[in-house]
Amino acid sequence: MRDSSPLPPRAAVLSRRAALGLAAAVPLAAASRAAAATASATPSGAPPTAPIGGELLGRGGVQVLGASGLPKRLTARSWLVADHDSGEVLASFDAHRPLAPASTLKMLFADTVLKKFERTERHRVTDADLAGIPAGSSLVGVKPGITYTVEQLWLGVFLRSGNDAVHVLSHMNGGVPETVAQMQAKAEDLQALDTHVVSPDGFDHKGQLSSAYDLTLFARHGLADADFRAYCSTRTADFPAGGKKTFQIQNTDRLLTGAWGVPTYDGLIGVKNGYTSHAGNTFTGAATRDGRTLLVTVMHPKSGGSGVYEETAALLDWGFRQGAHARPVGMLVAPLSEGGGKAKPTGKPARPAAGAPARAEPGGSSWGLAGGAGGAAAVLAGAAVAWRRRRRAAGTGGEPAPTPEAGAPDRRVPDTGAPGTGEPGPGDSGARHGR
């Protein structure tokens, strides 16, 4: 049923992550160039704060140090390239920009709920389990009266991005409101403070936001779990249709399956794609080559159809070619529950950014690790919440909703009583829908 790709053990790098987690949250005060600027002006009287993962990640524009050759035709409104094992962010563009996540938010849903139930546990679906699914949702074809294993429901979530499977698992977990609250708490623990959860499925809802940085945290955390890795790397599976009948479902990740003419990416593990008419296309992918695993998140590229996969592949290619030469511009912080250091105020006055910050200079330093423990000792409590509120306000107050691209793919699976029938082609278009 599965086609799983191996991932280098994470245990070997946990001690390094724990050691670097606190330093990642420090505002890099010892770095002479990086410490001077912040992502935006701090309101008068408010304590200046550092963005999660490092100062440079809070700046607008491209951030890269010591490496060249980034893809020239990237159109995404936000993207990030990171090393899975070390957590080093190798390059980014508006990493903390709050944007609608679409179904990539299902990675956080899995991080929150996946370990609550055994894979072999069985559940007979009721009408109540399927109540409240937003019209136009992507569906795998879950039907009341049919008994499913938990494993089958998760395959419906990962392969077909089925909101019906998400809602069934949420009801098993105590209901949708309870699951949303748990997801928000999980985001807090992961230090994904750009994320505001409104629904467990990622469908368009006012105020539902995440960022390239946060989505990458969700993927990295999820890939530490063997079941998560297995589900997100599964290409096809048989799904119950009632009685002894089944139908085949295929993963909608085109880099994994090669659907719609997109070449499969060598070494790809997963992780999760998404689309709604508000969010456009979003994708977080992970791939392993020559013993190295990279994570790439791409949000809201201008190009519809397969553009999100093409830009992800281009950034993965860059990471495998040039990533070894790049000096980190930030870090993927460790969860608080695993010893990650919490972001704190800088204790220094912030300087307003004059327009869009330029690309970080190759000769500059992105870290202030020379400050070592001294920099960490300067950290004060409370900035993580302040940073989240400031970024969230920026995403909801002045950010116009993106307009769907002409010819953007209609990924809706209409609830006609028939099981999901697959992902429409790049030229199809439709109204509001969510995958």
Q: Which residues are catalytic?
A: 103, 106, 161
Contact between 338 and 18 (Cβ < 8 Å): yes
Looking up tokens 């250091």 gives 341
- Dihedral pair phi/psi, residue 341, rounded to 5°: -80, 135
Residue 3 sits at the vertex; the CA angle it makes with 153 and 239, to the nearest 5 degrees, is 30
**Cα separation values, 224 from 2, 8, 12, 219, 273, Å:** 18, 9, 12, 9, 19
Buried/exposed 158-180: b ≥16 CB within 10 Å, e otherwise: bbbbbbbbbbbbbbbbeebeebb
Closest CA to 111 of 212, 192, 25: 192
Q: Helices 176-190 & 106-113, crossing angle to 10 degrees?
A: 90
Length reported for the chain: 435
Helix (H, G, I), strand (E, B) or coil at 18: helix
* 82 DSSP β-pair partners: 89, 295
Contact between 245 and 14 (Cβ < 8 Å): no
Terminal Cα-to-Cα distance of the chain (whole angstroms): 22
Nearest-angstrom CA–CA distance, 316 and 226: 23
DSSP letters of 62-77?
Answer: EEEBS-----S----S
Closest CA to 302 of 280, 285, 275: 280
Q: Helices 212-223 & 106-113, crossing angle to 10 degrees?
A: 40
Helix (H, G, I), strand (E, B) or coil at 253: coil
Nearest-angstrom CA–CA distance, 304 and 357: 27
CA 200 to chain centre: 14
Q: How many other CB atoms are there within 10 angstroms of residue 348's CB atom?
A: 14
Nearest-angstrom CA–CA distance, 96 and 329: 13
Q: How many other CB atoms are there within 10 angstroms of residue 400's CB atom?
A: 5
